[in-house]
Structure 1
Amino acid sequence: MLTAVDHVQLAAPPGSEDALRAYYTEALGMTEIPKPPALAVNGGCWFQAGSVQLHLGIEESFRPSRKAHPGLRVRGIEAYADRLAAHGAKVVWNHDLPGHRRFHSEDPAGNVLEFLEPGR
């Protein structure tokens, strides 16, 4: 029986860790968490906010997916969108999901992220 999603892994190109750290900690407000030493040698970085973990792994022939993405629930979606925009991230609102407010954005590697808040 499944009980929860432990983490979501996204890929990123070699050498992108500094840009990812800035985006995930400053723009998204996540905390970087240490990778186990055996995995840290592979590069990349891990982030956490509450029980949500996003792992960014380095992929030599990286190409961002245009469709696959994590859906991240937020509280105060307008303020969150404003926060991302203030950090230079593109915010694209989408009104196709009944009962939710949501927008899409991209991290510095081009990974699509969906942010949603139930209601309305």
Structure 2
Amino acid sequence: MIIGLHHVQITIPKGAEAEGKAFYCEVLGLSEIDKPDALKGRGGFWLSVGNQEVHVGTEDGFDRFATKAHLAYQVEDVGYWRERLESQGVELLEAVPIPGFVRFEFRDPFGNRVEMISVSTGVGDKNQV
């Protein structure tokens, strides 16, 4: 029986860890966590997101802009994230409205698709950028 989600993995180009940490730790404010010693030589880094983990691995030869695969971060205030990311020069993308939620999408500096989503309060919510 599946009882939950332990972690998800995304990838960035080999050697881009510093840029990845700058975006994910500084811009998004996620906390880096230690990788097990046995995996440290593989590159990448791990992040804590609530009770889950995001494992950022490295691989070359993959067009991240060509996929719909993505992470959706559940947030309390989509408006805050919209403003924060725009102030960092991140291009926000229109998201198809989903009843009961407000959300938007963007691509990280490596092309990975990312979504910010929260439950709609129904007051002044904007489902689209």
TM-score, normalization: structure 2? 0.85
Aligned partner of 2:40 in structure 1 is 40
Aligned partner of 2:127 in structure 1 is none
Tell me the matched-pair count.
120
1:81 counterpart SS class: helix
- Report the more deviating stretch, 58-67 or 35-44: 58-67
Aligned partner of 2:7 in structure 1 is 7
Aligned partner of 1:100 in structure 2 is 101
Aligned partner of 1:85 in structure 2 is 86
Conserved? CA contact 1:94–1:101, under 8 Å: no
Unaligned runs of 5+ residues in structure 1 are none
Superposition deviation, residue 62 in structure 1: 2.6
**Superposition RMSD on alpha carbons, in Å?**
1.4
The residue correspondences of 1:48-63 to structure 2 (distance < 5 A) are: 48-63=48-63
Higher relative contact order (CA 8 A, sep 6+): 1
Query: Where in structure 1 do 4 or more consecutive aligned residues deviate above 6 Å?
Result: none
1:55 counterpart SS class: strand
2:70 counterpart SS class: coil
Higher alpha-carbon Rg: 2
1:94 counterpart SS class: coil
- Report the more deviating stretch, 28-37 or 49-58: 49-58
TM-score, normalization: structure 1? 0.91
Aligned partner of 2:26 in structure 1 is 26
Aligned partner of 2:125 in structure 1 is none
Percent identity over paired residues: 35
In structure 1, how many angstroms separate the alpha carbons of the residues matched to 2:69 and 2:5?
Answer: 16
1:62 counterpart SS class: coil
Aligned partner of 1:71 in structure 2 is 72
Match of 1:42, as an amino acid? Answer: R
Match of 1:38, as an amino acid? Answer: A
Aligned partner of 1:118 in structure 2 is 119
2:68 counterpart SS class: coil
